[in-house]
Chains A and B, each alone.
Chain A
Amino acid sequence: MSDSLITETVKDAVQIVKDHSDDVHEHDVHAGDHHSGDHDDHGGHHSSLGLSNTKLAMWLFLGSECLLFGGLISTYMLYRNRHSENLGPDQLWDIPFTSATSFVLLTSSLTMVLAVSAANRKDLRNTKIYLGVTALLGALFLAGQIYEFTVFYREGLGFTTSLFSSSFFTLTGFHGVHVSIGIIMLVAMIGMLSKEKVSGDEAEAVEMVGLYWHFVDIVWIIIFTLVYLIPA
């Protein structure tokens, strides 16, 4: 099928307008006949684009999440300098430590991608191993976050201390919640694979978890740079 739904649709539209001239009616019959993506007549599951519903859904969801995290990041960027003198980013951040946790999360993306690769090979054992390692690395990242937050808290940075602190904890908190949900999904996936309770294509299910997990990672890529590495 054509590799672009959008191109085909635009082409159809242009064709309709071109055929238009003095009549409005019959061009519709012809436009789109040059084939617009039905994989029909192999019996089976007709789907207009030959794509997985679940995968489409996941990418749409991730697209919407850009708006969510964009809003939280913007709020932080607006308020990052609104704090008292000695409780700002430059005083609080421990860059080496956060670099280490960032590296952990990055590694988990690698193990995730290896899990998907194993799942595609129907290598169940390695899939579960890689999923497990990903979950562990994710948990390690979270542990690092929690440790970091307790240090900040002890140094005087609470949730309600300043605009900077509220924005910071909200942004990283949301990210942390997303990581936690990801870990739950990873562990659940291991369990469901073990008990053969995954309905549908197992490799695809692992891939979906992977997409979510990578998204959480790329959000952190942005957070790490904008929040931690850019001085006040």
Chain B
Amino acid sequence: MAIIERPTEAPATTNRGPAPAPKASTNYGYLRRPVETTGWRSWAFTVDHKKIGIMYGAVAMFFFILGGLEAALIRLQLAGPDGTILSADKYNQMFTMHATTMVFLFVMPMAAAFANYFIPLQIGARDVAFPRLNALSLWVFVFGGVFLNTSWFLGGGADGGWFMYAPNSAVPFSPTNGVDFWGLGLQITGIASLVGAINLIVTVLNMRAPGMSMMKMPIFTWMAFVVQMLLLFAIPVITVALFLLMFQRSFGAQFFSVEAGADPLLWQHLFWIFGHPEVYILVLPSFGIISEVLPVFAKKPLFGYPFVVFSGAAIGFVGWGVWAHHMFASGLGPVSVAVFSVATMAIAVPTGVKIINWTLTLWGGKLTFTTAMLFAIGLIVQFTIGGLSGVTHAVAPSDTQQTDTYYIVAHFHYVIFGGAVLGLFSGFYYWWPKVFGKLLSEPLGKWNFWLMIVGMNLTFGPMHIIGLQGQPRRMYRWTEFRAGEGFFNLGFWNLVATIGTFILGVGILLFLVNIWITHRPNSKTGPAPADPWDARSLEWITSSPPKEYNFARTPQVSELDEFFHRKYVDVGEGDKHEYVQRMTGEEVIQFEEDNADPNIHLPAPSYWPMVLAFALPVMAYGVIYNTLLIVAGGAIATMAMFGWALEPADAEASDFDPPVEGDETSKELANV
């Protein structure tokens, strides 16, 4: 148990070494509790949401690079006619794994990184509702992602496309274990997402600081909250699909055997009922991020905060009614197609509301074009382009031409890359000083931004054209004969797209370079100021990086944009607003620290989340190779769950020095 003492002079710190809990050596469960506060063990067994968030982000960034390499290979193959870099089989694996990696192992976990790090800080909490479950989510994700990628070395990656249509994904057509690794890997990462969703929903509902009603929550937390609700209900659907596929492949069940009378559309429905909410899961966190960034760098509050909140909820809600727009060409019949077509058009409305609100936030504001702001504005522009092509897909007749062509590829890359990814990068640059205590280089950041913008538009822009020119998706090579006439034919645009890919790659590389020069041992970058951006929301009322306990005392909240209103008071008369600064950010933070809580207790680290997480890939390997491993993994899992249940999350009152009664202003953390 980490016990923070608050003598008035010394800053309370965890570096005072293990707390009086070598009582942490009390053997609840089978293992002594980890007590290290420094070194790798303080990361591996942590339950601190901030460390967990950073680890999520670092691993997600690794997978981003991996997915990017997979994309680069695809584009190299398609740069010229008769490509020889990838065989047809390898090509199938490449686009499947590229998409799977980017969606499940990069964007989702990176959003989880932001959500994990910032939700507690934005609502004034010390941690999430279930800290050990939080650690479990992280490690399950890490092990699941690694497990999935071991397929490369064990017979080949999955090769049925990220949507894995059956019966193509069944054994006769996908005989290697790639699809098995895919299905089992996603089951594992699905557990991470589901558990994380429950955790964060309870955190948002139940652990807000006093005075913070739902409509005073920072907007990022709102969007992330909607995302967790989507995850909660969408993950079980793909879970069903993956189980059916696994039973088909590994145990001979008949779910997708056409000769037995099966209907292949069953897979498609199950997958896309998950898959459509999934794309909102991908993009809403980024919407939340830029909804934070734009007001700060426009020096104006978010325009129409309630509309942004409700349009986010509306997108989440209506998003459940549109999935079959991924199936317009599958033979659903005109009635179904018409219904889903109309529903899809409807969902453009709340999205449009957001675009309007963001634009009006900028309108009349005093704009500062920091890198974070550039990425945020970039999202508005690029996502709108993607949204417009999306509207053309909603019209089912035109989609019939577009489907399975590169026009679709263009659309989803504009919304995912131009939407989700640009938003994440905005978040990186905005929150880097908060998380790491240093500002990333702005000049380098601008190069990063512009190269990414030029790169992505050169890569994905032409795909609209080649799609309408007839280039199908998932085609491993093109020939001169097929390239069409004229100069601006398939050949030309494919080459442009490949060049764009490498420009994009350089842009992303610059981001990594930026991190390196900021944090390398002999870096000249000094510590960041406490409030570098003159920000608005609660997470900035902490040190940079925040102390382990986040807030010196639980903040009392009275307004939306609480931090802003503590710094600035409105002295205008009537309807006029005139804001005068009464405190600097540093002073606000200092004031809180001067009134700090005397006793803060935090949940203790634990081995069990990692042990339980480890059991899952063991069982998964067992499904593929040897049933005994399933038993072994199951035994480890059971043991871990019992160890977990028997280990209390809080120390006994006598562990505190001085001993505490029930009346301290620390947060109750559930015993999970």
A-B complex is real = yes
B246-277: CB near A (< 8 Å → 1, else 0) gives 01000111110100111100100010000000
Point out the residue from A46, A64, A68, A159 that lies within 8 Å of B253, measured CB to CB.
Answer: A159
- Contacts A159-B251, A160-B254, A166-B254 known; A60 to B198 CB distance under 8 Å? yes
CB neighbours of A165 from chain B (8 A): 254
CB neighbours of B628 from chain A (8 A): none
Interface centre among A54, A166, A200 (most CB of B within 10 A): A166
A56 lies within 8 A of B205 (CB): yes
B237 lies within 8 A of A71 (CB): yes
CB neighbours of B670 from chain A (8 A): 52-54, 57, 200
Q: Can you name the residue of chain B whose Cβ is closest to the Cβ of A47?
A: B206
A5 vs B257: C-alpha distance in the bound complex, in angstroms? 48
CB neighbours of A68 from chain B (8 A): 236-237, 239-240
A188 lies within 8 A of B642 (CB): yes
Q: How far is the CB of B239 from chain A (nearest CB, A)?
A: 6
A41 vs B236: C-alpha distance in the bound complex, in angstroms? 40
B198 lies within 8 A of A170 (CB): no
A43 vs B668: C-alpha distance in the bound complex, in angstroms? 11
Q: Can you name the residue of chain A whose Cβ is closest to the Cβ of B240?
A: A71
Q: How far is the CB of A74 from chain B (nearest CB, A)?
A: 9
Q: How far is the CB of B472 from chain A (nearest CB, A)?
A: 30
CB neighbours of B28 from chain A (8 A): 197
B235-247: CB near A (< 8 Å → 1, else 0) gives 1110111011001
Interface residues of A in 82-132 (CB under 8 A from B): 82
B213 lies within 8 A of A32 (CB): yes
Is A22 part of the binding interface, using a Cβ–Cβ cutoff of 8 Å? yes
A65 vs B240: C-alpha distance in the bound complex, in angstroms? 11
A28 vs B210: C-alpha distance in the bound complex, in angstroms? 16
B262 lies within 8 A of A163 (CB): yes
A45 lies within 8 A of B206 (CB): no
A45-63: CB near B (< 8 Å → 1, else 0) gives 1111101111011001101
Is B194 part of the binding interface, using a Cβ–Cβ cutoff of 8 Å? yes
A75 vs B215: C-alpha distance in the bound complex, in angstroms? 40
- Contacts A12-B214, A159-B251, A199-B671 known; A49 to B565 CB distance under 8 Å? no
B260 lies within 8 A of A162 (CB): yes
A29 lies within 8 A of B559 (CB): yes
Point out the residue from A25, A60, A192 that lies within 8 Å of B201, measured CB to CB.
Answer: A60
Q: Can you name the residue of chain B whose Cβ is closest to the Cβ of A13?
A: B306
B650 lies within 8 A of A199 (CB): yes
Q: How far is the CB of A144 from chain B (nearest CB, A)?
A: 23
Interface centre among A17, A52, A57 (most CB of B within 10 A): A57
B254 lies within 8 A of A46 (CB): no
Q: How far is the CB of B165 from chain A (nearest CB, A)?
A: 16
Q: How far is the CB of A121 from chain B (nearest CB, A)?
A: 22
CB neighbours of A3 from chain B (8 A): none
A71 vs B662: C-alpha distance in the bound complex, in angstroms? 45
Q: How far is the CB of B139 from chain A (nearest CB, A)?
A: 19
A48 lies within 8 A of B305 (CB): no
- Contacts A43-B665, A160-B252 known; A64 to B235 CB distance under 8 Å? yes
Q: How far is the CB of B588 from chain A (nearest CB, A)?
A: 17
CB neighbours of A37 from chain B (8 A): 213
A56 lies within 8 A of B202 (CB): yes
Is B233 part of the binding interface, using a Cβ–Cβ cutoff of 8 Å? yes
A54 vs B577: C-alpha distance in the bound complex, in angstroms? 44
A12 lies within 8 A of B215 (CB): yes
Is A167 part of the binding interface, using a Cβ–Cβ cutoff of 8 Å? yes
Is A44 part of the binding interface, using a Cβ–Cβ cutoff of 8 Å? yes
Is B645 part of the binding interface, using a Cβ–Cβ cutoff of 8 Å? yes
A45 vs B662: C-alpha distance in the bound complex, in angstroms? 8
A49 vs B207: C-alpha distance in the bound complex, in angstroms? 8
CB neighbours of B236 from chain A (8 A): 64-65, 67-68, 71
A162 vs B301: C-alpha distance in the bound complex, in angstroms? 61
A49 vs B672: C-alpha distance in the bound complex, in angstroms? 19
CB neighbours of A79 from chain B (8 A): 255, 262
Is B485 part of the binding interface, using a Cβ–Cβ cutoff of 8 Å? no
B243 lies within 8 A of A170 (CB): yes
CB neighbours of B668 from chain A (8 A): 44-47, 53
CB neighbours of B666 from chain A (8 A): 45
- Contacts A16-B305, A49-B205, A54-B670 known; A28 to B559 CB distance under 8 Å? yes
CB neighbours of A51 from chain B (8 A): 205-206
Q: Can you name the residue of chain A whose Cβ is closest to the Cβ of B270?
A: A71
Q: How far is the CB of B390 from chain A (nearest CB, A)?
A: 25
Number of A residues near B (Cβ < 8 Å) is 64
CB neighbours of B671 from chain A (8 A): 54, 199-200
B240 lies within 8 A of A160 (CB): no
- Contacts A163-B261, A170-B253 known; A45 to B667 CB distance under 8 Å? yes
CB neighbours of A188 from chain B (8 A): 642, 645
B27-53: CB near A (< 8 Å → 1, else 0) gives 010000000000000000000000000
Is A155 part of the binding interface, using a Cβ–Cβ cutoff of 8 Å? no
Q: How far is the CB of A51 from chain B (nearest CB, A)?
A: 6
B570 lies within 8 A of A25 (CB): yes
A5 lies within 8 A of B558 (CB): no
A60 lies within 8 A of B253 (CB): no
CB neighbours of B577 from chain A (8 A): 23, 25-26
A118-152: CB near B (< 8 Å → 1, else 0) gives 00000000000000000000000000000000000
Is B309 part of the binding interface, using a Cβ–Cβ cutoff of 8 Å? yes
Q: How far is the CB of A189 from chain B (nearest CB, A)?
A: 10
Q: Can you name the residue of chain B whose Cβ is closest to the Cβ of A205?
A: B671
A57 lies within 8 A of B129 (CB): yes
A46 lies within 8 A of B554 (CB): yes
A43 lies within 8 A of B662 (CB): yes
Is A194 part of the binding interface, using a Cβ–Cβ cutoff of 8 Å? no
Q: How far is the CB of B67 from chain A (nearest CB, A)?
A: 28
Is A223 part of the binding interface, using a Cβ–Cβ cutoff of 8 Å? no
A48 vs B215: C-alpha distance in the bound complex, in angstroms? 13
B255 lies within 8 A of A75 (CB): yes
A160 lies within 8 A of B570 (CB): no
Is B646 part of the binding interface, using a Cβ–Cβ cutoff of 8 Å? yes
CB neighbours of B201 from chain A (8 A): 56, 60
Point out the residue from B254, B263, B306, B672 that lies within 8 Å of A16, measured CB to CB.
Answer: B306
Is A232 part of the binding interface, using a Cβ–Cβ cutoff of 8 Å? no
A46 lies within 8 A of B261 (CB): no
A165 vs B247: C-alpha distance in the bound complex, in angstroms? 12
CB neighbours of B194 from chain A (8 A): 64
Interface residues of A in 26-44 (CB under 8 A from B): 26, 28-29, 31-33, 36-38, 40-41, 43-44
A28 vs B361: C-alpha distance in the bound complex, in angstroms? 16
- Contacts A40-B210, A43-B664, A197-B28 known; A53 to B570 CB distance under 8 Å? no
- Contacts A51-B206, A56-B202, A82-B260 known; A8 to B667 CB distance under 8 Å? no
Interface residues of B in 518-544 (CB under 8 A from A): none
B88-114: CB near A (< 8 Å → 1, else 0) gives 000000000000000000000000000
A5 vs B213: C-alpha distance in the bound complex, in angstroms? 9
Is A78 part of the binding interface, using a Cβ–Cβ cutoff of 8 Å? yes
A94 vs B353: C-alpha distance in the bound complex, in angstroms? 57
A170-210: CB near B (< 8 Å → 1, else 0) gives 10001000000000000010001000010110000000000
A57 lies within 8 A of B559 (CB): no
B343-368: CB near A (< 8 Å → 1, else 0) gives 00000000000000000000000000
B216 lies within 8 A of A67 (CB): no
A24 vs B307: C-alpha distance in the bound complex, in angstroms? 12
Q: How far is the CB of B253 from chain A (nearest CB, A)?
A: 4
Point out the residue from A54, A78, A159, A163 that lies within 8 Å of B252, measured CB to CB.
Answer: A159
A57 vs B133: C-alpha distance in the bound complex, in angstroms? 11
A159 vs B247: C-alpha distance in the bound complex, in angstroms? 10
Excluding A9-B213, A192-B646, 8 further A-B contacts by CB distance (< 8 Å) are A9-B214, A13-B306, A24-B300, A57-B129, A61-B198, A71-B240, A159-B252, A166-B253
Return the 9 tightest CB-CB contacts between A and B, nearest first: A45-B668, A71-B240, A36-B213, A32-B213, A43-B663, A12-B215, A68-B236, A67-B236, A53-B670
Q: List 12 A-B contacts (CB under 8 A).
A: A12-B213, A13-B306, A47-B206, A53-B207, A54-B671, A56-B206, A68-B239, A162-B260, A163-B262, A166-B254, A170-B243, A170-B247
